[in-house]
Amino acid sequence: MTTPHSPFNLAQQLIHAHLIEGDLTPGSEIALRIDQALLQDVLGTLVMLELEAMGLDRVHTSPSVQYIDHGLVQADQLNAETYLFLKSACERFGVWYSGPGNGISHPVHMEHFGVPGQSIVGCDSHTTAAGSLGMLAIGAGGIEVAMAMAGEPLYLTMPEIWGIRLEGRLPDWVSAKDAVLELLRRHGVAGGKNSIIEYHGPGLAHLSAMDRHVLANMGTEMGATATVFPSDEETRRFLAARGREADWQPLAAEPGCTYDREETLDLSSLEPLIALPSSPDKVVAVREVAGEPLHQAYIGSSGNPGYRDFAVVAEMVRGRRVADGVSLDINPSSRQVLTTLINEGYLADLVACGARLHQTGCNGCIGMGQAPAAGLNSLRTVPRNFPGRSGTREDSVFLCSPETATASALAGVITDPRSLDMAYPRIAEPPRMVINRDLFTAPLPPAEARLKPLQKTDNTPALPELAALPDTLEVPVLLITGDNISTDDIMPAGQRVMPYWSSVYASAPFTFEAVDPDYAARAEATRTRGGHAIVGGHNYGQGSSRENAALVPRYLGLQVVLARSFARIHWQNLVCFGALPLTFIDDADAERLAQDDRIIIRDLHAQLAASATLSAEVVGKGEIRLHHGLSQRQRALLAAGGVINYLKARPADRRSG
């Protein structure tokens, strides 16, 4: 391991403090020591099954916390049984348990467990939100989280560090959501790929810790590996309000440091912005779409989870009534925020205006309730508006700030909040927030934990065994997709599908249903006949970290994905489950391919070892050249048939646990 140059920016300091292998050269593979782990329920089930498959005795990350925040709609027995399984797995493996109703993982983790300077990995792409406290916070596929919990390093490509200097102060009626929407307007959903965004500059002094959470959370929508903020007086204030000032330490970039990319964002120049359906980067000024009809306004999610994000709504609606025909949906982010809103009198204002109050959790952000009517406009403070993510296939979801959503709910049409005849309510958090750690179940002592069985059901079966890729790969092209295929497109969310995510077999029929409803049946037919290939466009696999978007197609016979480019987490997930991700060297080759073409790659493993490029034959169409970018370690994973097989095959004295 080599020592990087000095002075360091903050991201370099955090990486260097956790570096096990590699150096800080962008583009090279590095291995990081992970301090904390975060799990959410609909993906945590697979993590727990992976820990079982690895034969783990007790997790090494501390704290490791399992949150129940996604699958909260109990329309049948499945979600309730998942809670029981996850609680038993927490008892077995030494993990904290946060039950249903306690709140969304990301803000709740900030409240109770976030520590400046520590590293955290989570099986949710928005784990990056913890960077608002000066943490090195990375979202990953569940299998990589399981490995970190087992004491293994987290491997990733060393990102570039993108320094964004903040200047000025947000004007009235403009908030942190507008700042991150401006960056999405500038750079798009792939503009931050293989980068860590580091905010610095005098504008930071005017952003609270929860304002920073909004920016760190939605850095993921630009494809960023992580987002980092300094740990300063605002960080101290946040922790002190929760009785945790002892966990604070100052962290900042060293004077004279440099960045691989640099940019300035003048907060004072911003205006209310809105992302049009159906991508977070289709951003325009709210005034450009003002007057469009409105069906729903939705406040909450990990995209705007702070106390002020609800209190400002309450101030705006006090003495007023939501417009007829508009549903104003309030989704509190945590039990602590909800209790404080009650104590401060704000909940009464929200109820009196006609708002609908829902339980603390992710809810409508992931299609678990509050689905809008088809084709009617829904303004939401959530981080994503991919097609169908709301739970309605033909949805029309806009992303905006709480101010814009509330102004529109009062007017009955999309409204620039600056047009309201009222003073802007600037909200400060109370100096002491309600906090209650008793609502968590702490890990059991090791001796007691070892005796605890997993409380499994038919919906939590063992993971399928996956075979290694053969040395000669001959597969048909089963599916061709366009650009920006999301993991929502591959494995749908929503109440209809998410309760089955804990079972590879039960969720398989839903795979790619919005793209090609016949894919799953056709893929199943290839599973025992050598498998199949998928051809994708740019940014294939964007969005959620859900590993089942890689694992389930792999179970259905997926052997190789050929794409123009991949989203970071999905690319890693494919490798971890033994599927080969390849990118086209010449885009013209992508244009030549058609469904049912047969692709042959001979001497596969020798080609992977010899060079970063390899040759494939398209039967009847000639040769194409492809790039893999795999490290020696990743090639070994593919040769073993994925991470679990690889770890099982290692000598016993090299296994963690």
Chain segment 41-51, per-residue pLDDT in tens: 999 999 999 99
Residue 203 lies in a domain: yes
CATH number of the domain that 580 lies in? Answer: 3.20.19.10
Q: What is the pLDDT of residues 607-646, one digit of tens each?
A: 999 999 999 999 999 999 999 999 999 999 999 999 989 9
Give the whole-angstrom CA distance, residue 136 versus residue 227. Answer: 8
What are the b/e assignments for 133-142, b being 16+ CB within 10 Å? Answer: bbbbbbbbbb
pLDDT at 650: 75
pLDDT of residue 651: 64
Q: Are residues 241 and 258 in the same domain?
A: yes
Q: Where are the alpha helices (DSSP H) in 280-401?
A: 307-317, 335-343, 346-352
Return contacts of 14-17, CB within 8 angstroms, 24+ apart. 14/117, 14/119, 14/134, 14/135, 14/136, 14/228, 14/251, 15/136, 15/158, 17/117
User: Dihedral of CA 516/520/524/525: which sign?
Assistant: negative
User: Does pLDDT of 3 surpass 80?
Assistant: no
Contacts of 450 (CB under 8 A, 6+ apart): 57, 92
3-state class (DSSP) for residue 361: coil
Which DSSP helix (H) or strand (E) runs through 657?
Answer: none
To which residue do tokens 């992580």 refer?
226
Confidence class for position 4, pLDDT limits 50, 70, 90: very low
- Decide the pairing of beta strands 283-285 and 273-275: antiparallel
654 pLDDT band (50/70/90 cuts)? very low
Q: What is the rounded CA–CA span in Å between residue 238 and residue 39?
A: 23
For position 656, what pLDDT does the model report? 44
State mean pLDDT over 162-166: 98
Q: Does the pLDDT of residue 446 top 90, yes or no?
A: yes
The per-residue pLDDT for 186 is 98
Report the 10 Å Cβ neighbour count for 362: 30
Domains in the chain, number: 3
Alpha-carbon gap, residue 488 to 478, rounded angstroms: 19
CATH code of residue 219: 3.30.499.10
Do 229 and 327 fall within a single domain?
no
Summarize pLDDT for 303-336 with one digit per residue, the tens: 999 999 999 999 999 999 999 999 999 999 999 9
> How many angstroms separate the CA atoms of 130 and 114, rounded?
7
Task: Kindly state the average pLDDT of the residues 584-593.
Answer: 94
Q: Please list the residues that pair with 598 across neighbouring strands.
A: 476
- Same domain? For 373 and 513 the reply is no
Alpha-helix runs per DSSP H in 219-366:
233-240, 307-317, 335-343, 346-352
The predicted pLDDT at position 436 comes to 85
Whether residues 357 and 477 fall in one domain: no
- The answer to whether the pTM exceeds 0.85 is yes
Six-digit token string for 644: 């679990």
DSSP bridge partners of 227: 197
Same domain (yes/no): 232, 293: no
Look at the alpha carbons of 39, 56, 650, 470 in this order and tell me if their dihedral is positive or negative. Answer: negative
Q: Is residue 328 part of a domain?
A: yes
Pair 162, 309 in one domain: no
Beta bridge partners of 600: 474, 617
User: Are 224 and 328 in the same domain?
Assistant: no
Q: In what order do the strands lie in the sheet with 19-21?
A: 19-21, 29-32, 154-157
Secondary structure (H, E, C), 604-634:
HHHHHHHCCEEEEEECCCEEEEEECCCCHHH
Residue 5's pLDDT band, with cuts at 50, 70 and 90, is low
Counting runs of H as helices and runs of E as strands, what totals does the chain give? 22, 27
Q: Does any domain span residue 454?
A: no
Exposure letters 563-576 (e unless 16+ CB within 10 A, then b): bbbbbbbbbbbbbb
For the segment 13-62, what is each residue's pLDDT rounded down to a tens digit? Answer: 999 999 999 999 999 999 999 999 999 999 999 999 999 998 899 999 99
Distance between CA atoms of 362 and 300, rounded to whole angstroms?
A: 8
Q: Within this chain, do residues 103 and 37 fall inside the same structural domain, yes or no?
A: yes
- Residue 596 burial (10 A CB sphere; 0-12, 13-18, 19+): exposed
Identify whether 162 is part of a domain. Answer: yes
pLDDT at position 33, please? 98
pLDDT range class, residue 655, cuts 50, 70, 90: very low
In a domain, residue 427? The reply is no
Q: Select the more confidently predicted residue: 479 or 651.
A: 479
Whether 572 is in a domain gets the answer yes
User: How sure is the predictor about 580, in pLDDT bands with cuts at 50, 70 and 90?
Assistant: very high
Those residues with Cβ within 8 angstroms of residue 483's Cβ, 6 or more apart along the chain or in another chain: 537, 538, 539, 564
* Three-state DSSP class for residue 471: coil
Residue at which a domain ends, from 234, 269, 304: 269
* CA–centroid distance for 33 within its chain: 20
Q: Residue 4: inside a domain, yes or no? A: no
Task: Look at residue 653 and tell me whether its pLDDT is greater than 60.
Answer: no
pLDDT-based confidence at 647, cuts 50/70/90? confident
In terms of domains, do 485 and 378 share one?
no
- Lowest-pLDDT range, 79-93, 431-445, 512-526? 431-445
Average pLDDT, the chain: 95
Domain boundary pick from 242, 269, 296: 269
Residue entry with tokens 């010449």: 586
- What would the pLDDT profile of 391-412 be if each residue is shown by its tens digit? 998 999 999 999 999 999 999 9
Question: Residue 590 CB: number of other CB atoms within 10 A?
Answer: 18
- pLDDT at residue 434, rounded to an integer: 86
Asked, for residue 23, whether it belongs to a domain, the answer is yes
26 and 47 in one domain? yes
Domain that holds residue 387: 273-419
Three-state secondary-structure class, residue 167? strand
Interhelix angle 209-218/176-187, rounded to 10 degrees, is 20
Categorise residue 20: left if φ over 0, alpha if ψ from -120 to 50, beta otherwise.
alpha
Q: Compute, in degrees rounded to 10, the torsion defined by CA atoms 342, 345, 349, 354.
A: 20
Q: How far is CA 432 from CA 247, 336, 337, in A?
A: 16, 11, 11
- Give the pLDDT of residue 1: 39
Both 128 and 213 in one domain: the answer is: yes
Mean pLDDT to the nearest integer, 346-354? 96
| Same-domain pairing of 245 and 303 | no
Q: Which amino acid is at 447?
A: A
Domain end: 379, 397, 419, which one?
419
Give 515-532 pLDDT, tens digit per residue: 999 999 999 999 999 999
Q: Respond yes or no on whether the N-terminal peptide bond of residue 293 is cis (omega within 30° of 0).
A: no
Partners of 441 in the β-ladder: 97
